[in-house]
Amino acid sequence: MIIVIQCRDRVGLVGAIASVLAKQQLNIISMREHVDKAGDLFFMRLEVEETGDAPKLEAMIKAVLPADAMIIINPLPQKKVVVMVSKDYHCLADILIRNFFNTLGASVQCVIGNHPQLEDICTRFGMPFFLVPHQQQTKAGFEQQITQIIRPYQPDYIILAKFMRILSPDFVAQFPMRIVNIHHSFLPAFVGASPYRQAFERGVKLIGATAHFVSDELDEGPIIAQQIIPVNHSYTAADMVKAGKEIETAVLANALKLVFEDRVFVYNNKTVVFE
């Protein structure tokens, strides 16, 4: 059983929660907690032995927490996700392989693309692919079509696996902190398009990738995971792109694992991540 808690901090919270579990004869397998002193916030993730009465346990824990506490017991272990793509295949291919072998930690419901290039790989994996071209239509019309496809699946998360279009605040508002994007840069450096070209022209010695939740501000959402690798003067812009794709795949995979295992808490455009 997994228990996640987020609330205002106060003295004795850990002891009070542990006492409730002890009275129910529940052994704590793993416990991670963090206090944000500036925000006076408390975060906890527990793994405990199974119980047959989760609602009763939730009520008992709530009774020892502040009134506005958020508590979830046994979040869905198998999340449902929709993946959105453009032309790049590397992140999608990794997701489809993990999904096929049941190691993703979620179930991919479908793939939506604004270009046709990745339909073939989806077909090979028996994955529904929906083509929604963005050309020759308004952004509102484009996003409305996407929303109509997504809604029947009722996904827990939407993954932007190199979906190279900027989503409107109206679209993002439909799925608050439920859209995960992989950005080909170590944010906050090189925001927007062509970051590897920007990095090459700047002569950087490190390149990276960032997985983050999508917010109204371009590439400014809460960061889930990041990674960097060294580069040098011998790297061309094409070399950086090639190396960057490997980082993007690894960072997105790590971020999705953390999200699907309910290890990520979002607050004040930041995250607490219990790795």
Number of residues that this document lists for the chain: 275
| Burial category of 21 from C-beta neighbours within 10 Å (exposed 0-12, middle 13-18, buried 19 and up) | buried
Catalytic residue flag (residue 170): no
Task: Yes or no: say if 70 and 48 are a contact pair by the CB < 8 Å rule.
Answer: no
Look at residues 192, 204, 194, 210 and name the one whose alpha carbon lies nearest to residue 235: 204
Cβ count within 10 A of residue 50: 8
Sheet holding 41-48, edge to edge: 28-36, 41-48, 2-8, 70-73
Alpha carbon 213 to its chain centroid, in Å, reads 6
Helices (H) then strands (E): counts for the chain: 8, 13
Residue whose token pair is 């995979």: 253
170, 219, 239, 262: which one is catalytic? 219
| Burial category of 229 from C-beta neighbours within 10 Å (exposed 0-12, middle 13-18, buried 19 and up) | middle
C-alpha angle with apex 219: 221 to 216, nearest 5 degrees? 60
Region label for 146, one of left (φ > 0), alpha (ψ between -120 and 50) or beta (otherwise): alpha
CA distances to 15, 19, 50, 97, 197 from 27, rounded to whole Å, are: 14, 11, 9, 35, 53
The residues that are catalytic are 219
